[in-house]
Structure 1
């Protein structure tokens, strides 16, 4: 058999099918969505497509229908670097960079050695008040092979000390590159202090002549952890990078000479496609900044370090964080991150132990080596969904970046309160979605586990902060506060009664049980101060009033009906309120816990 006989023409899979227009697809969507709608409530094809739209933070949205459009996809390693800073190496697609912040130098040293022995390829040490002391850095890194392991430090409380400690350590030992982690704006945001840019120039010069060494890490996670949208966090990061280049230019070197010192540390979330789009968009925007500054074309690709998000992590049911981290790491891989850090699933509880560190490390090792994700450069390239989302993120980031520039730059925006305004607006919008469970948190607001699942770990030291600091806040915080309140009440319960057969109450009973569990409240059939009736509208009409009166006569002070107000009709007045999808669940559960608490205190007296 000759090699030419193995060559075939492309298989025409679409041959014989008529070309479909957007209107054809819209009609198909409308046919599906209208199946259970009344004749007078049917959606038009245009309305059906609009019904599939999903809103994201930062004014972004995803469509339900994407059609092929003509666009120049570009290539990895070429302007505008959307598809990657470079073509991936299949054997080592990205830097597996794990975080070390245990203040006990002996423990950190052991964890560093364990990570490097089992798949990590670089070491990231967080130095300062809530991490490793600068003087302990030599002990922590004692077992690191200088010829093959890049080193990275970060700090919020004393960046110059961390950078100098690392420089002293590597002097003459030939370490294989790294980053001094200087980000005075990020430190100022996190601590509420004033940014001090004066040490930058000397420390940048200290890296000159050291192959593979950079001085600056713009940490976009600070604003994101505090509640900012991906768009706002990235725009502020780009503006911060520009501020550093301008400052260094005032000290002598042109931006083209210092551009390569900047690395961006960004958040990877469980929204894998948004994570990928954000990384791709960041490279595009930063490449255009480099173009405006006269940086040679081949050097405009942004270096990115993706870290799984702290804001999405939960204290309750922490093993669900393993799933979130997997999605986030996959998104970071798809987005072409140069380095990836997976935070252990128990990070929220305190300092991680060996098992959780191993699980975090192996999450990305498995993705890189076993799933073969890392063997493809820009695997999502050409997906009209991902390309459209990347365009939208890039345009939004550029617009926000220009807004910061018009405000006088990132330092002026910080002083004038613009960044606080952005974070406050994003947080308020997101909190409403979380409180109504339109943005569910698995294991916390949806499908919660009533058992006490929070792990106990050695606590981290607190970072001293001043007024105005951008303090991390997690999305699950409001529900975790409810669980804490419930624990003080000693496993509170609410009476749940059903009417009719399983088919009448099954769905609403399950809804009620899960809703109550989100606040740490169990259910019982014994009559207590609060009771809920769960059943269909028809069963309510037949026996709802009598059941409510029976519960009141048995001692229930408050009777609630599970269902939507528009479904309950005339019989809705038999209850004092309703339990239904779309309500402010946090406020409802807080009120319920207050009532149960008052009842418990009354009984104890």
Structure 2
């Protein structure tokens, strides 16, 4: 009789996994794609698949047990969350944003959110939202001892904080009120160029520490650097530099080191790159734990992190896809151990969100918490060799940037000198090129656009004082170049009654030309350009002056030259060819459109050739 083993060996029926054998199998695939040859050494195979992030962090093709083993949950450096052994896991704080300028409307929306899954309130005040004077009305029916309130008032921080503290005192909630007053003078300088007051932030922190023990005063906001096109490490390094500057100001104002740490909360962006977002949230705790160590803080000073779904990744076109983007980002926030999570409504780029959009944003988090049980696991990403390695590499890159900022005199000096702006601009140009070449595709915008879509109409949002001319970091969105082309097409259609159009001249049987014709149609439509398809002889009736020849390489060798001649004889001022190769008889000025080409350049050229004004 066979006695079963005490432990089940899941891979017992398979031969041991060997890295060399894996490389051999991958080499076979790369040979078929042309990326490797028979002579390519096996030790070079992984390098062919590796890439780098915008921070220069290497992203390998394969990770193993040797790559950054995890630490223990709940212990310094707090990479693996801050709650040890699953104790007290109740989920993160579902923090809903509100920016409507009418306090009565905001009050109704706040109550609806709190009654339907939200657990805290994030109020944008001042120039970007509701007047600070309307705070009491907006919070009239909110139980301040139960629902944390976070303020975001920019230049009106002092006024808004005073109004909130007075309200809490009048209601007798001084000991129970929680949230954050949102003082972030360096973030204000980054957003607007206006110098904020560290002394004001420190004074508010002292008031909170002395009279409002559960309330924080200061936010070290990394989102202005993310929104300017910065990388993950650049956002982290700048946020930690802000946090250190606030520590100095708060301790100088009389707070102990531990009290100062207790007054600061981080705010970071998370996007649809889930692994990078997970690593970012884990890395900020690693970085802040190091700051705490050298500052002499006691144990338990783990970074408190508010994760916000990225504004830069949101699109104005096909906004429904934003639901998918924010769901992935919210998952990453939860898996990365965020203490509070804000999911931006899918219509955020269109104006003030409606009730449906706020409901979807709330329910995204409810599904992750209640149905996916994401918060019932300590550090869901822990033990993933990729996530562990990426966390460590990202933390190292962010620490290098943080120390560069410190050497420049701190974040305020680095902002004034242009060091931060220059670094972010260089990163944005790299990302922008990847987007233009569709290496970083945007569904519904650069890929699979819907020219017939009808966008939801929304009430205009108050203009936030960010990135305006005369100061502050720029505010970018990943879709902005493609959306600008779509806007040009819309204006042309409104003025002339028809969209710009390109003729796809197909050669050979349908099975031969369909793949490249579909590719070309998708590319041109990303710029708001309609496509019509037919044989080259049908070009004259297409109502356009630009054509694109579509077929296989074999057919091109036989027919492309004649097709170009027919198109030009029929009046084509510009002829493209779907493919990357060169073919005998085809004039040199016939450029190719292919995977990896600069789609923005192609589309701008085409709109110009079609007479569509900028």
TM range (shorter): over 0.9
Worse-matched range after superposition: 90-99 or 131-140: 90-99
Partner of 2:496: none
Worse-matched range after superposition: 238-247 or 65-74: 65-74
Where do residues 340-489 of structure 1 align in structure 2 (5 Å cutoff)?
A: 340-464=341-465, 465=468, 467-489=470-492
CA deviations over 1:208-228 (Å, ceiling 9, x no partner): 242321111111001111111
Partner of 2:221: 219
Cα contact 1:157–1:191 (8 A) shared by 2 = no
Distance 1:327 1:236, change over 3 A: same
Worse-matched range after superposition: 468-477 or 540-549: 540-549
Cα contact 1:318–1:453 (8 A) shared by 2 = no
CA deviations over 1:309-347 (Å, ceiling 9, x no partner): 000000000011000000000000000000000000000
SS at match of 2:582: helix
- State the shift of 1:156 in Å: 2.0
**Equivalent of 1:236 in 231, 235, 238:** 238
CA deviations over 1:16-65 (Å, ceiling 9, x no partner): 64443432322221122223449957643233312222332222232111
CA deviations over 1:350-384 (Å, ceiling 9, x no partner): 11000001001100111011111111110110110
Distance 1:170 1:557, change over 3 A: same
Cα contact 1:316–1:453 (8 A) shared by 2 = no
**Equivalent of 1:551 in 562, 567, 582:** 567
Distance 1:91 1:244, change over 3 A: closer
Q: How far apart, CA to CA, are the structure 1 residues paired with 2:362 and 2:438?
A: 31
**Equivalent of 1:513 in 521, 544, 563:** 521
Q: How far apart, CA to CA, are the structure 2 residues paired with 1:271 and 1:54?
A: 15
Partner of 2:32: 35
Partner of 2:538: none
**Equivalent of 1:295 in 291, 294, 297:** 297
CA deviations over 1:402-446 (Å, ceiling 9, x no partner): 111111111121122110111111111111111111111111111
CA deviations over 1:433-478 (Å, ceiling 9, x no partner): 1111111111111111112343321112223445231132101000
Under a length normalisation based on structure 2, what TM-score does the superposition of the two structures give?
0.92
Distance 1:255 1:547, change over 3 A: same
Distance 1:559 1:104, change over 3 A: same
Partner of 2:180: 179
Distance 1:200 1:39, change over 3 A: closer
SS at match of 2:126: coil
Matched, 1:262 2:264: yes
After superposing on structure 2, the runs of 4+ consecutive aligned residues of structure 1 that deviate more than 6 Å are none
Worse-matched range after superposition: 182-191 or 497-506: 497-506
- State the shift of 1:500 in Å: 0.5
Cα contact 1:159–1:184 (8 A) shared by 2 = no
SS at match of 2:128: coil
Cα contact 2:168–2:177 (8 A) shared by 1 = no
SS at match of 1:66: coil
Cα contact 1:231–1:393 (8 A) shared by 2 = yes
Under a length normalisation based on structure 1, what TM-score does the superposition of the two structures give?
0.94
Matched, 1:63 2:60: yes
Cα contact 1:561–1:575 (8 A) shared by 2 = no
**Equivalent of 2:551 in 516, 528, 535:** 535
CA deviations over 1:89-129 (Å, ceiling 9, x no partner): 67731000000111111111111011001000011101111
SS at match of 2:363: helix
SS at match of 2:77: coil
SS at match of 2:198: coil
SS at match of 2:285: helix
Q: How far apart, CA to CA, are the structure 2 residues paired with 1:17 and 1:258?
A: 55
SS at match of 2:212: coil
Matched, 1:596 2:596: no
Cα contact 2:103–2:138 (8 A) shared by 1 = yes
Distance 1:336 1:111, change over 3 A: same
Q: How far apart, CA to CA, are the structure 2 residues paired with 1:510 and 1:33?
A: 26
Cα contact 1:316–1:443 (8 A) shared by 2 = yes
Measured on the aligned residues, the alpha-carbon RMSD in Å equals: 2.0
Where do residues 190-229 of structure 1 align in structure 2 (5 Å cutoff)?
A: 190-208=191-209, 209-229=211-231
Worse-matched range after superposition: 582-591 or 214-223: 582-591
CA deviations over 1:513-568 (Å, ceiling 9, x no partner): 0000100001124432001110011111222222222222222222221110xx33
Partner of 1:576: 590
Distance 1:38 1:125, change over 3 A: closer
Cα contact 1:85–1:303 (8 A) shared by 2 = no
Distance 1:71 1:434, change over 3 A: closer
Q: How far apart, CA to CA, are the structure 2 residues paired with 1:202 and 1:51?
A: 55
**Alignment length (residue pairs):** 591
SS at match of 1:497: strand
Q: How far apart, CA to CA, are the structure 1 residues paired with 2:197 and 2:291?
A: 23
Worse-matched range after superposition: 39-48 or 328-337: 39-48
Q: How far apart, CA to CA, are the structure 1 residues paired with 2:517 and 2:413?
A: 54
Cα contact 1:109–1:139 (8 A) shared by 2 = yes
Distance 1:276 1:416, change over 3 A: same
Q: How far apart, CA to CA, are the structure 1 residues paired with 2:306 and 2:220?
A: 10
- State the shift of 1:176 in Å: 3.7
| Runs (5+) with no aligned partner, structure 1 | 1-6
| Runs (5+) with no aligned partner, structure 2 | 494-498, 534-540
Distance 1:570 1:399, change over 3 A: same
Partner of 1:10: 7
**Equivalent of 1:158 in 153, 156, 159:** 156
Worse-matched range after superposition: 48-57 or 393-402: 48-57
Partner of 2:123: 125
Q: How far apart, CA to CA, are the structure 1 residues paired with 2:415 and 2:33?
A: 51
Worse-matched range after superposition: 251-260 or 141-150: 251-260
Q: How far apart, CA to CA, are the structure 1 residues paired with 2:298 and 2:262?
A: 11
Partner of 2:80: 83
Matched, 1:101 2:99: yes
SS at match of 1:198: helix
**Equivalent of 2:507 in 499, 502, 527:** 499
- State the shift of 1:153 in Å: 0.5
